[in-house]
């Protein structure tokens, strides 16, 4: 959403029939232009309600410890120490734009249980957990970082025309190559590629 003072983006997804997560994001310049640093939660909420009035369709936002914050990037090379072990967000964070943090946390717990069951010594179980799980998590965390970088440059992307914007959005995490996208959405890719040909002929 573009305003006279900057650009905003909202990630919103339903979690019950009557409620959705509604997460508002903006770049540093926009945040400063609105003076959010000096606004109360209620004032920020009112501004966001006004900016996203169309998307909210007349509904108010419901605050839930709604503070402005930078995404906390957490990554650990060593996953355990003695008889202590890390899982979930304490071990790694994955940007909410790929929506996998909860799944990763639960899958960490499953992987840890399986690794401990497969070994008789706890230390061997913890080593197995890290060796088997780390490459899987690393792939997703890398995709999440690439996706987060895309959102960091959101105002630039908003200047793209429709098909370029859509293509850029879908491929933002670097996990969807053209061949995969062609197999998943042949009509979209045909339209996108046709728009490129028209662009190059002009
Ligand atoms: C704005 C936002 C939107 C998100 N959207 C999504 C999404 O759409 N899909 C998705 O999959 N993930 C999403 N995530 C990520 C997801 O919330 C986390 O990845 C997930 O909650 C991690 O689970 P966890 O159990 O590791 O940590 P948490 O859920 O943070 O649980 C840790 C718990 O430990 C408690 N705790 C902390 N310190 C102590 C202490 N000293 N003693 C006792 N208890 C303590 C905390 O209070 C908390 O209850 C989002 C995150 C954010 C911030």
pLDDT of 30 > 80? The answer is yes
Q: Break the chain into its structural domains and give their ranges.
A: 2-56, 80-152, 154-201
Per-residue pLDDT band at 47 (split at 50, 70, 90): very high
* Sole residue written with tokens 């909860």: 102
| Ligand 1 residue neighbourhood (C-beta within 6 Å) | 13, 23, 88-90, 96, 99-103, 105
Averaged over 157-164, what is the pLDDT? 89
CA atoms within 13 A on the CB side of 202: 6
Residue nearest (by alpha carbon) to ligand 1 atom 7: 99
End-to-end CA distance of the chain: 29
pLDDT digits (tens, 9 = 90+) for 56-106: 998 999 998 899 999 899 999 999 999 899 999 999 998 877 778 899 999
Give the per-residue pLDDT at 134.
97
Q: What distance in angstroms lies between residue 188's CA and the mean position of ligand 1's atoms?
A: 36
Strand partners for 16: 19
The percentage of the chain sitting over the pLDDT mark of 90, rounded to a whole number, equals: 64
How far apart are alpha carbons 154 and 119 in whole angstroms? 47
């Amino acid at each position: 959403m573009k305003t006279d003072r900057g650009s905003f983006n909202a990630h919103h997804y339903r979690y019950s029939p009557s409620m959705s997560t509604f997460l508002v994001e903006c770049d540093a310049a926009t945040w400063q232009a609105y003076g959010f640093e000096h606004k109360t939660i209620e004032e920020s909420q009112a501004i966001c309600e006004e900016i996203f009035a169309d998307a909210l369709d007349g509904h108010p936002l419901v605050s839930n410890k709604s503070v402005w914050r930078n995404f906390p990037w957490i990554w650990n090379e060593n996953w355990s120490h003695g008889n202590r072990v890390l899982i979930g967000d304490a071990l790694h964070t994955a940007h909410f734009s790929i929506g996998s943090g909860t799944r990763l946390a639960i899958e960490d717990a499953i992987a840890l249980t399986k690794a401990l069951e497969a070994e008789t010594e706890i230390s061997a179980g913890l080593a197995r957990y890290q060796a088997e799980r780390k490459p899987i998590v690393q792939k997703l965390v890398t995709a999440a970082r690439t996706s987060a970088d895309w959102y960091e440059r959101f105002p630039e992307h908003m200047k793209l025309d429709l098909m370029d914007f859509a293509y850029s959005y879908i491929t933002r995490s670097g996990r969807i190559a053209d061949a995969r996208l062609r197999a998943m959405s042949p009509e979209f890719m045909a339209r996108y590629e046709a728009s490129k040909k028209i662009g190059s002929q002009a």
